[in-house]
Amino acid sequence: MIYEKNLRVLQEKHNDLYLGIIGLEQGSSPSLVDITLSKVQEPVVVYNSDAGAIYLNSRYNPSKEAEKFMEEYINMPNRSVQVMFGLSTGVFLREFLNKNNKEMTCIVFEPCKEIFLSVIQSIDITDILNDKRVRIVVDELNTDSFNLFLLRSLDAPNIKTNKYVILPQYQNLFGEQYDRFRQIIKEKYENLQIGINTLTVMGTRICYTGIQNMRYLPGCRSGMSYIDLFPKDLPVIIVSAGPSLTKNVELLKKAKGKALILVVDTAISKVMSRGIVPDMVISVDNQKILSNFEVDGLGDIPFLGDMCMSTDALDMVKPKDLIFYSSDSVVWDKLFMKAGSEINMIYSGGSVALEAMALAMSWGFRRIVLIGQDLAMTGNKQYADGEDISTENIKGLMYVKDIYGNDVPTKKDYFSFIRQIEDIAYQYRNIEIIDATEGGALIKHTTIMTLQEVIDKYCQKEYDIEEIIKSVPKLFVGEDEKLVIDALINMKSNLKSLGVTMKQAASECDRGRRLMSRGDFNVKELKKINAIMAKADDKYTTMDESTMVRKFVALEDYNFSNDVYVEGDDEIKEAIRMYEKSNKYYKAIADATPKIIEIVDDCLEKMQGE
């Protein structure tokens, strides 16, 4: 009865975990875990390890233990994230939830599926499962959800307020899982910080390309249209520009028509200079070195581009078959919907090769082959056909094992990419990721093969890949081209209106600061000021163009959000501080709008002049 109750709620509220449970093969070890009762008749988890029985809760009073253990995690601010390693009976989590009634998220990673299965069979935890703040990940049941939950929950405003807790005994019992748990969190924060740093430096340029690239929408295709379109037994070969590429690049000729050959931007010239015609090329970075694209015939190759990829590269290449595959803009999303299609957002983790992997997985490929993916300075080179480099001049130099067991130098960002690929390979075990680089860093959980072995085993059937690619209809052609022009005109109008609203809100913030600084607590006037601010916030957050504006003012956005949820004890000083921060932020947005309008005008002029 208890199991059925828990299972019903899991199906309704945690379907990813529910599917993992009902798809579980027989063979788990029920004898590994026992549920017993404490002196005060509360449930206790007993883990039967090689060293004997380990109690994961107090054998006397688990509730009192949980109350004391969770004391430092009480009263966390709004939008904070609590990440918990271990669930046990749920008593620690229940204590946390009962003492924190604010809007927040609690992500639980239970490293032992036997513990979780024993708990839901014996203990009613429907109150926890029904709590909308809770996300539960159980290793081997819905492991891949952990990354997704972190990605959705961690952001700049809560960096300083999030907390992490490891339940008693868990780290000792599940050390390997704990190391992976900690590494995933560390990498998510590093990627978040890299993203923040990139935006604060490059935000204006990213906004520029996101608008300017709209003039390349007419005649483009959507990357989402390729989901489940390619044959299931067709492998994809993702070609990067690592030093080992020179070993096997010529073999790509044998794979032509038998695998989708997808080449990242830095490897285009190295591949095409050898007479190899890729099936697709992909580019992400809006600051790519343009010499990467100075290749004869590149305009004839189907070109995969991110919404914010280099407009200069598109101006140079002028691809005949342009496929936009990723966007985080509501403006773009709605445009594709009006054209009868869709566009989604592909999360890359900072590398064009990772982006290509994520895209291939979303399309339904079940066998992904990596070549040129050294992620190390093999032979003291960074790129195939590149010059020798001195590792002494590399910032953050570190050493990892290569596929032959030798130490090889790498960089910090490369190491992050190694771990991300390892994590993907571990989580998505239904997808075979083959490392056919024939050199470079060892990437755990991948299958190591030579490219010749891959071709002999998996590239034996011919496909008309070009026909598959071209079978997807082009968008924004004919009368639909006006959809793009109308969107730009509407964007211009919305930005003008936003500028006026934010200028007024900035002025009102300054007035509120002055009132409170001199001790004038006129409740009626302060309520009026706060209402104007709330109206401005609502306008900004709900307008389609807000993601583009936020990129343009990325530094100011970060400065505003970095400690917005860190509350001071003095309410008056805190209110003054928030008025000051809001004034600067609103003013930055008001000042940015005419500059963004100039980008829109330039894009319109170029479109209408063609």
Residue scoring higher pLDDT (346 or 481): 481
316: region left, alpha or beta (phi > 0 left; psi from -120 to 50 alpha):
alpha
Cα 457-461-462 angle, rounded to 5 deg: 140
Q: What is the spatial distance between Cα 236 and Cα 233, in angstroms, rounded to a whole number?
A: 10
How high is the mean pLDDT of the chain?
91
Question: Per-domain residue ranges for the chain?
Answer: 2-173, 217-460, 480-609
Q: Which two tokens stand for residue 482?
A: 């006006």
* Of 117-121, 290-294, 505-509, 562-566, the least confident: 562-566
Q: Judge contact between 110 and 134, C-beta under 8 A.
A: no
Note the helical H segments in 405-480: 412-427, 451-458, 465-470
Predicted local confidence at residue 265, as pLDDT: 94
Residue scoring higher pLDDT (239 or 23): 239
DSSP H/E element including 608: helix 571-609
Residue scoring higher pLDDT (389 or 138): 138
* Residue 360 predicted with pLDDT over 90: yes
Q: Looking up tokens 């004869």, which residue turns up?
A: 296
pLDDT tens-place string over residues 258-272: 999 999 999 999 999
Predicted local confidence at residue 193, as pLDDT: 79
CB-CB neighbours of 336 under 10 Å: 21
Band (350; pLDDT cuts 50, 70, 90):
confident
Q: Which two tokens stand for residue 28?
A: 């788990």
* Residue 347 predicted with pLDDT over 50: yes
* Of 158-167, 240-249, 568-577, the least confident: 568-577
For the chain, report the end-to-end CA distance as a whole number of angstroms: 70
What would you measure as the largest C-alpha separation in the chain, in angstroms? 82
Sign of CA dihedral 87, 182, 201, 382: negative
* Residue 29 predicted with pLDDT over 70: no
Interacting residues of 155 by C-beta distance below 8 A, sequence separation 6+: 192, 561
Q: Judge contact between 383 and 268, C-beta under 8 A.
A: no
Band (371; pLDDT cuts 50, 70, 90):
very high
* Residue 398 predicted with pLDDT over 90: no
Angle between helices 352-363 and 412-427 (to 10 degrees): 10
Q: What is the spatial distance between Cα 216 and Cα 310, in angstroms, rounded to a whole number?
A: 12
Residue 386 burial (10 A CB sphere; 0-12, 13-18, 19+): middle
Q: What percent of the chain has pLDDT over 90?
A: 70
- How many alpha carbons fall within 13 Å on the CB side of residue 341? 25
Question: What does the buried/exposed string (b/e) look like for 183-219 if buried means 16 or more CB atoms within 10 Å of the residue's CB?
Answer: ebbebbebbbeeebeebbebbbbbbbbbbbbbbbbbe
* Residue 314 predicted with pLDDT over 70: yes
Note the helical H segments in 109-174: 113-122, 126-130, 145-153, 170-173
Name the β-bridge partners of 81: 105
* Residue 610 predicted with pLDDT over 70: no
Interacting residues of 603 by C-beta distance below 8 A, sequence separation 6+: 211, 212, 214, 215, 488
66-80, 185-199, 273-287: range with highest mean pLDDT? 273-287
Q: What is the spatial distance between Cα 231 and Cα 217, in angstroms, rounded to a whole number?
A: 27
Band (349; pLDDT cuts 50, 70, 90):
low
Predicted local confidence at residue 23, as pLDDT: 77
Predicted local confidence at residue 285, as pLDDT: 81
Query: Which CATH architecture does the domain made up of 217-460 adopt?
Result: Alpha-Beta Complex (3.90)
Predicted local confidence at residue 6, as pLDDT: 95
Name the β-bridge partners of 165: 84
Interacting residues of 605 by C-beta distance below 8 A, sequence separation 6+: none
Predicted local confidence at residue 145, as pLDDT: 85
Number of residues written out for the chain: 610
* Residue 237 predicted with pLDDT over 90: yes
* Residue 422 predicted with pLDDT over 90: no
Band (27; pLDDT cuts 50, 70, 90):
very low
Q: Judge contact between 353 and 373, C-beta under 8 A.
A: yes
What does residue 399 show for φ and ψ, rounded to 5 degrees?
A: -120, 140
Predicted local confidence at residue 387, as pLDDT: 67
pLDDT tens-place string over residues 67-109: 999 998 887 888 889 999 999 999 999 999 998 877 889 999 9
pLDDT tens-place string over residues 490-545: 999 999 999 999 999 999 999 999 998 988 888 899 999 999 999 999 999 999 99
Predicted local confidence at residue 168, as pLDDT: 93
Q: What percent of the chain has pLDDT over 70?
A: 96
Band (591; pLDDT cuts 50, 70, 90):
very high
